[in-house]
Structure 1
Amino acid sequence: MPTKRVLHVVTNVGHYDDPSHATGLWLSELTHAWRVFDEAGFEQTLVNPAGGPSPLEPRALKFPSYDKTAKAWRADPAKMELLATTKRPEEIDSADFDAVYFTGGHGVMYDFPDCEGLQRITREIYERGGVVSSVCHGYCGLLDTRLSDGSYLIAGKHMTGFAWREEVFARVDKLVPYSAEERAKQRGALYEKAKLPFVSYTAVDGNLVTGQNPGSAKATARKVVEVLAGDTSQARP
């Protein structure tokens, strides 16, 4: 079987509207998935909306999710160089990838939604049967993506992502520029979430795979592997 290839999408943005409040990539959402894909033998590439450095969310370096995978990444100069030299969407040929995986962190709320290059890549991968996936705030990269027929990619699809009540519990509801959960619903998504905040939760609808929060990254990546392997037992009818 040919080697599967995954494109990870990370943010360029390092702060909220208020520059005194830092944000960025929630590192474990990348590292947990990277390990799963690496163990599956996948080739992996990083891209962000503008190319170049992806800042790290400071809070993510203190939370329990900052585990050995994230620590090992930060201690590896080669891995950190990957985050410093990400590709631009214009440099990416979607035909080279079997899946796209949108990571989170609040920075993505600013630069993911309006990036036409990312929308192009996502649409092309999805429409040829590849996997489109996201974890946590990564689904902000799917909010405005339309298919070739003009419909929203997430319209009528079961999906999940960081919930508004999780924003409140994280005490950033006054900092975020919008409610991603509400926007997903406005686009026609069949949004769902775990009964309790911050519990790992995933949703699979055909070749759309989404995870709710940082603790869902590993499970989300495993679902991507399953779908790419042709295991549709978790998919919606």
Structure 2
Amino acid sequence: MTKRILHVVSNVANYADQAEPTGLWLSELTHAWHVFGEKGYVQQIVSPKGGVSPLEPRSLKWPLADASVKEWLNDGSRQALLSATSRPDQIDPADFDAIYFTGGHAVMWDFPDDEPLQRITRDIYERGGIVSSVCHGYCGLLNTRLSNGALLVAGRRLTGYSWVEEVLAGVASKVPYNAEQEMIRRGALYEKALLPFVSKVITDGRFVTGQNPQSAKATASQVAALLDN
């Protein structure tokens, strides 16, 4: 049977300061979409509220905007996918083999406490599916609990955008919390690469996480390897 992937994107367009734009870090979606597309997987996009997923302006500029990003920006049908994302209540978790949380600082606001997304994540995982995230996408896993009440991330090896990367990116004073620290507080076994902004992926059973935008392709490739096996 054809595998099915559910991508999760943000609806948030600004930092707390409304004059500071943020949104989906587009390459974190496009790199994974390309990997899964080459495998022939069916893909769908969901967001907490449905509808438009704003784009992080910095992710659209050279050198961060690679060929896959430019392809999406120049393809009206692809842009339409980000203008009309599904709502969680339109999603049946049983239809999907894996969930993939994208990042961009926007997700720090609308991912962590979204109970419908938590339900979808729990259902996919407990049915034997794969839970994955890249960069700030792991904020969507902070508060997800399994049916037994345990936090999904407790005792689990994982990675995601590090605090040193926040500092080096110049946004440490703008984000609402330290995601790395919050993961550790929840009992996650957080790891990061020796150097910032290099690809790092951690696989812990059916749990796959990538550290930063540079990790998106490798993260998706690992998800695909698990699905193919």
TM-score (norm. length: structure 2): 0.99
Q: Which residue of 2 aligns with 1:184?
A: 183
Match of 1:167 in 2: 166
CA drift at 1:62: 1.6
Deviations 1:149-198 (A, max 9, x none): 11110100000000000000000000000011011111110000000000
Following superposition of structure 1 onto structure 2, how do residues 94-133 of structure 1 map, counting pairs within 5 Å? 94-133=93-132
**Helix, strand or coil at the partner of 1:73:** helix
Give the 3-state SS of the residue equivalent to 2:122 in structure 1. helix
The equivalent of 1:217 in structure 2 is 216
Q: How far, CA to CA, are the matches of 1:172 and 1:78 in structure 2?
A: 32
Structure-to-structure mapping, 1:190-201, within 5 angstroms: 190-201=189-200
Structure 1: distance between partners of 2:227 and 2:219: 12
Q: Specify the code of the residue in structure 2 equivalent to 1:182.
A: Q
SS in 1 for 2:209: strand
How much has 1:42 moved relative to structure 2? 0.3
Which runs of 5 or more structure 1 residues have no equivalent in the other structure? 231-237
Three-state SS of the structure 1 residue aligned to 2:13 is coil
Q: 1:29 aligns to what?
A: 28
Consecutive unaligned residues of structure 2, counting only runs of 5 or more, are none
Distance between the aligned counterparts of 1:111 and 1:200, measured in 2? Answer: 25
Aligned to 2:53: 54
In the alignment, the residues of structure 2 paired with residue 14 and residue 106 of structure 1 have an alpha-carbon distance, to the nearest angstrom, of 10
Q: Is the 8 A contact 1:9 1:100 kept in 2?
A: yes
How many equivalent residue pairs? 229
**What is the alpha-carbon distance in structure 2 between the residues aligned to residue 151 and residue 166 of structure 1?**
29
Instruction: Check whether the contact 1:161–1:212 (CA below 8 A) recurs between aligned residues.
Output: yes
Letter in 2 for 1:180: A
Question: SS of the counterpart of 2:203?
Answer: strand
Contact 1:13 1:110 in 2 (8 A): yes
Q: Which consecutive aligned stretches of 4+ in structure 1 deviate over 3 angstroms post-superposition?
A: none
Aligned to 2:133: 134
Aligned to 2:42: 43
Look up the equivalent residue of 2:103 and give its one-letter code: G
TM-aligned CA deviation for residue 64 of structure 1: 2.4
Question: What percent of counterpart residues are identical?
Answer: 63
1:183-236 deviations in Å (ceiling 9; x for gaps) = 111111000000000000000000000000000000000000011122xxxxxx
Aligned residue identity for 2:68: T
User: Matches of 1:48 and 1:162 in 2, distance apart?
Assistant: 20
SS in 2 for 1:19: coil
How far does residue 63 in structure 1 lie from its aligned partner after superposition?
Answer: 4.7
Is the contact between residue 36 and residue 218 of structure 1 (CA under 8 Å) also seen in structure 2?
yes
Partner AA of 1:31 in structure 2: T
